Amino acid sequence: MRYAAAHDLPVAVRATGHGHTAGLHRGVVVTTGRMRAVRVDPASRTARVEAGARSADLVAAAAGDGLAPVSGSFPGVGVVGYTLGGGLGLLGREFGWASDHLRAAEIVAADGELRRVGPGDELFAALRGGQPDVGVVTALMVGLVPLGSVVGGGLFLDADDAARVLPVVRRLGVDAPDALSISLGVVPVPDLDVVPAPIRGRTVLHVRLVSTDADLAYAAEAAVRETAPVLLGGLRDLPWTDSGSIFAEPETPHAYEGTDVLVSDLPDGALAGVVAAARSAAVGCVVDVRRLGGALALPADGADAVSFRAAGWIVRVISSTDGVPISAVRSSQAAVLAPLDGVRLGRMAGFVYGGAPVSAEEVHAPEVRDLLARVRASYDPDGRFARASAQDDVERGLEEAPAGRADLAAEPEDA
Ligand X SMILES: Cc1cc2nc3c(=O)[nH]c(=O)nc-3n(C[C@H](O)[C@H](O)[C@H](O)COP(=O)(O)OP(=O)(O)OC[C@H]3O[C@@H](n4cnc5c(N)ncnc54)[C@H](O)[C@@H]3O)c2cc1C
Element (H, E) at 149: strand 149-158
* Segment near ligand X (CB under 6 A); pick from 36-44, 77-85, 186-194, 215-223: 77-85
Q: Considering the rule CB under 6 A, would residue 207 count as an interface residue with ligand X?
A: no
| Shortest reach from residue 163's CB to ligand X, in Å | 28
Whether 398 and 360 have beta carbons less than 8 Å apart is answered as: no
Whether 291 and 92 have beta carbons less than 8 Å apart is answered as: no
Closer residue to ligand X in complex, CB, 18/405: 18
Quick note: the x/- pattern for ligand X over 14-33, rule CB under 6 A, is: xxxxxxx-----------x-
Q: Considering the rule CB under 6 A, would residue 354 count as an interface residue with ligand X?
A: no
Reduced to 3 states (helix: H, G, I; strand: E, B; else coil), residue 329 is helix
Q: Considering the rule CB under 6 A, would residue 129 count as an interface residue with ligand X?
A: no
Strands 38-41 and 46-50: antiparallel
Q: Which of 57, 100, 106, 133 binds ligand X (CB under 6 A)?
A: 133
Q: Considering the rule CB under 6 A, would residue 136 count as an interface residue with ligand X?
A: yes
H helix runs in 48-100, sequence order: 55-63, 79-84, 92-95
What's the 3-state SS for 204-273? EEEEEEEECCHHHHHHHHHHHHCCCCEEEEEEEEEEHHHCHHHHCCCCCCCCEEEEEEEECCCCHHHHHH
Quick note: the x/- pattern for ligand X over 315-344, rule CB under 6 A, is: ------------------------------
* Segment near ligand X (CB under 6 A); pick from 132-140, 161-169, 176-184, 210-218: 132-140
In sequence order, which residues have a C-beta less than 8 Å from that of residue 241 and are 6 or more positions away?
A: 59, 60, 63
Report the alpha-carbon distance of residue 69 to residue 397 in Å, rounded. Answer: 37
Report the alpha-carbon distance of residue 69 to residue 58 in Å, rounded. Answer: 7
Quick note: the x/- pattern for ligand X over 54-73, rule CB under 6 A, is: ------------------xx
Closer residue to ligand X in complex, CB, 338/360: 360
Q: Which of 40, 84, 209, 285 binds ligand X (CB under 6 A)?
A: 84
Backbone torsions φ then ψ of 131, nearest 5 degrees: 45, 60
Q: Considering the rule CB under 6 A, would residue 355 count as an interface residue with ligand X?
A: no
| Shortest reach from residue 349's CB to ligand X, in Å | 8
Size of the site for ligand X (CB under 6 A): 29
Nearest Cα neighbor of 154 from 208, 195, 198, 218 is: 208
- Residues engaged in binding ligand X (CB under 6 A): 13-20, 32, 51, 72-74, 77-78, 80-82, 84-85, 87-88, 131, 133, 136-137, 249, 350-351
